Each structure stands twice: as C-alpha cells, then as structure tokens.
Structure 1
Amino acid sequence: MKRLYYLTDTIDSTESISKDLHLLGITDWNLHVLSKDDDGLFRHHIHGANTLQRLDLIHSGEQGALIGVVIGLCIGVALMLGKPFGIALDLIAIGAIVALFTLFGTWVGGLSGLSHESYKIKRFHDDLDAGKYLIMVDFRKAREPDVVQLMENQHPEAQFAGKDTTWINPFKFAHEKVSH
C-alpha cells in the first residue's frame, strides 16, 4: 500500500480532513494521525497512530533479526568446520544455532526500537514538537488520484509532506523530508 503524509496546524482542520477522507471511503484502518495532543484526537474522535507506527519496534526488530542471522551463520559454520568439541554438527544443529541468534537479535532489536521513534516519522519530529498534526493516509495505488484531489481541492490548508509505502524496510534509515 501507498502512504501520503500531510501536516496541519489545527485539530479542527484535522477533524475535517478525517471526516472527508471517511466519506471518500478511507477507513480508520487506513487513516492515522500523529500529534502531541492525544487527548484532543480522542475528544474529536480522530483515529490516532498506534504504537507500531510511533515507535521503531518492527524496523529495529527486523534489523536485529538480520544481524542475528548473520552472526548465527558465522558461528554455526565455524563450529561445523572447526569441530571444537570433537563432534561434527549436522544441519539441524546449525539451524538451531541460527534460529537462536535470530530470535535473540529480534528481541534486542525490538527492545531498542521501543526507545526510538519510527524511522518513517523521524523526519516530522520538529513539526510534531511544534504542535502540528501529521495525517497518514494509506491506500491502494489506484485510489491515489482521489485522495490527492480531495486534499488539494477541499483542504489547501494541509501541507503535503511526503509519499511513501506502508512496507517497513529493514535496510532503510530515517528519510529526508520531501516537498510538494
């Protein structure tokens, strides 16, 4: 799925955008708003971003898993070739070593991600600190013209802030800010 980012200055504008996107057929499942004002979002019945969208849990967990796989393979191959205990390890033992390191890497990466904001929203950190509202709209590619047209025609106060996918790429780090 694709994702468009928009920034607004007020909760009223955010609420109006949310209502119009719902009328367009964008459900709460595909509409998320990130703000310092979580209470305001709740009072205005605006779907806020969840923990997985706010924090880097999945992204860091994926990176940890990849590092764990590499370390597990290196240790497994070294143990298989070196036979340090005088016993030849079979593929099941090597697979268990790789799985153990992969799980450990995922766990450590996930814990690390709990203390960092998502790499996808890091570029909006200063705007969010300034009190702006980040609207994230997810949609299938065929719906993009409808969403863009709605935002341009009915909500010129919303600043286009970027375009991305919803896929979390473990090989990417913080994005650069995109202008319209």
Structure 2
Amino acid sequence: MKQYHYLFDSLNDLERACYDLEDLGVAHNHLHVANNNHLSLEKKHLNDVGTFGDTDLIHSGLRGLIIGVVASAVCGTLTWMYFGHHELGGVITAFVSLIALGFSTWLGGLIGANHDNWRLSPYHDLLADGKSLLIVDMESGQEEQVQRLMASQHREAVHTGESSSVDSPLKGGWHLHLKEFKQVA
C-alpha cells in the first residue's frame, strides 16, 4: 500500500479534505493525521496517528532486533568458546544469546519511544509550528483519483511526498528528532 503525504495550514481545511476523500471511497481508517494538538483531532473525529505512528517505537525496535541478532551471534560464539567444554555450556550460551537479543530490541524500542516517527521526522519543525500532516493510505487503483481530487478541490494542501506503508527498519535516517512532550496545566 502506498502513502501520500499532504501538509495543511488549517485543521478545518484538512477536515474537509478527509470528508471529500471518504466520499471518494478512501476508508476512514486509511486517513491518518499528525498534529501536535491531539484533543482537536479527537473533537473533529479525525484519525490521530496514535502513539505507534507518532513515535519511532516499532521502527527503532526492529532496528534493535537486527542489531540484537548480530550481538546475539557474537556473544553466543564467544560464550561457547569460553564455556563450551562445561556441562552447562549450551544453556549458558543460549542464556547469554537471549539476553543480548532481548536487550538490543528493548533498547531500540526505548530509544524509539522518545523520538519522532521516522516518517514524521522531516515535518518535525512544521508540526511544531501548528501545521497538520495528512497521510493517506491508498490501494493501487485509488492513486490517480486522490491526486486529481486534491489538486482540484484542495489547492491549499501541499503534496510533500510518498512512502510505503511497510515499516522497513532499513529505511529512514539514523538521526531522530527527540519527541517533545508537553505538560498539561
């Protein structure tokens, strides 16, 4: 599935675009909105990207898993070389390998939970300035219709890019923007 990204200055314009896209046949759960004011999105019944879409938890966790597989193999090999002759050498090796794998995955997820999603990272400053990002998940037959609708009826929307809906740990940069958590008074 392909994702199209549209940047809006006004949340009201974005809401109208969502209604028009739904009338076109795009499912409501295929429209995701990134905005720093989550309460406004809830009041307008717009799909917030949510915690998993707002943070890099899954993406960084998968990166941690890949690093953990390598660390697990290295730690397992070294442990086996040292404890292989011991009668519990296999158990110790398996334990050390699992700890290395689990720790790397946990650490990747922890890092991702405190950073912007890699897809939202290019829009970090714009979202901080109050703009909104609409991410439209489209099936292969809808692309042309959506582009035509947005170009003709929603000229205020700026098409900022496309991406795949598959969350590949190999995509995206290694520099992540720290998530800004605001305190509610």
Shift of 1:94: 5.1
4+ residue runs over 3 A deviation: 92-100
Q: Structure 1 residues 99 and 25 mapped into 2: Cα distance closer, same or farther (>3 Å)?
A: farther
What do the CA deviations read for 1:43-73 (whole angstroms, capped 9, x no partner)? 2221211111100000110111111110110
Q: Is the 8 A contact 1:61 1:113 kept in 2?
A: yes
RMSD: 2.0
CA distance in 2, matches of 1:151, 1:130: 23
Structure 2: which 5+ runs fail to align? 175-185
Deviation at 1:172, TM superposition (A): 2.4
Give the 5 Å matches for 1:113-152. 113-152=112-151
Matched residue pairs, number?
A: 173
Once the two structures are TM-superposed, the CA of residue 85 in structure 1 deviates from its matched residue by 5.9
Distance 1:63 1:149 in 2: 37
- Change beyond 3 A, Cα 1:78–1:47: same
The Cα shift of 1:95 comes to 5.4
- SS for the counterpart of 1:171 is coil
Asked if 1:2 corresponds to 2:2, the answer is: yes
Shift of 1:83: 3.7
The corresponding residue for 1:161 is 160
Q: Secondary structure at the match of 1:141?
A: coil
Q: Could you tell me whether the CA contact under 8 Å between 2:79 and 2:96 is conserved in 1?
A: no
What code does the residue aligned with 2:12 have?
Answer: D
Could you tell me which residue of structure 1 aligns to residue 21 of structure 2? 21
1:159 and 1:118 map into 2 onto residues whose CA distance is 20
Could you tell me how far apart the structure 1 residues matched to 2:97 and 2:142 are? 42
Q: Does 1:50 align with 2:47?
A: no
CA contact (8 A) 2:79 2:92 kept: no
Q: Offset at 1:166?
A: 1.1
Give the TM-score normalised by structure 2: 0.85
> Where does 1:80-91 land on structure 2 (aligned, <5 Å)?
80=80, 82-84=81-83, 86-87=85-86, 89-90=89-90
1:178 equivalent in structure 2 = none
Q: 1:112, CA displacement in angstroms?
A: 1.1
For residues 83-104 of structure 1, the C-alpha deviation after alignment (integer angstroms, 9 at most, x for no partner) is 43632755x8755543432222
The reply on whether 1:30 has 2:30 as its aligned counterpart is yes
Equivalent residue letter for 1:61: G
State the identity %. 32
